[in-house]
């Protein structure tokens, strides 16, 4: 059986009309995750039926690589670009994990 990718999906919904600032922050992000061992790619998407909702999909070689990144100082540093005053819809933040089966 071949190696299967690990995918982390982080979702949240912006509550205070700062959606464009958040999207711009992702565009201008410092790209710190790209150097993390085991990192493959990142996609930031937003559903057309709810522009205030943001989904981050990070693709990893394995779950351990994600765990190391998620607990690193670089992970925390990567969040310094979050716009000041941002408020999220209560209970909208979700973190889910997936096994990639096939493309």
State residue 86's pLDDT score. Answer: 92
Full set of structural domains in the chain with CATH: 6-99 (3.30.70.100)
State residue 67's pLDDT score. Answer: 94
Nearest to 66 by CA among 9, 1, 3: 9
The per-residue DSSP string of the chain comes to -----EEEEEEEEB-SS-HHHHHHHHHT----GGGSTTEEEEEEE--TT-TTEEEEEEEESSHHHHHHHHTSHHHHHTTTTSPTT--B-TT--EEEEEE----
Query: Consecutive 10-residue runs of the chain (103 residues): their mean pLDDT?
Result: 82 95 92 93 97 97 94 83 90 95 88
């Amino acid at each position: 059986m071949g190696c299967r990718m690990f995918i982390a999906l982080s979702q949240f919904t912006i509550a205070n009309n700062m959606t464009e600032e958040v999207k711009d922050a992702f565009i201008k992000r410092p790209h710190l995750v790209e150097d993390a061992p085991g990192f493959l790619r990142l996609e930031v998407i937003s559903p057309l039926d709810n522009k205030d909702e943001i989904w981050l999909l990070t693709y990893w070689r394995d779950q351990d690589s994600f765990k190391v990144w998620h607990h690193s100082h670089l992970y925390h540093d990567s969040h310094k670009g979050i716009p000041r005053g941002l408020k999220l819809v209560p209970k909208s933040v979700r973190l889910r994990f997936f096994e990639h089966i096939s493309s």
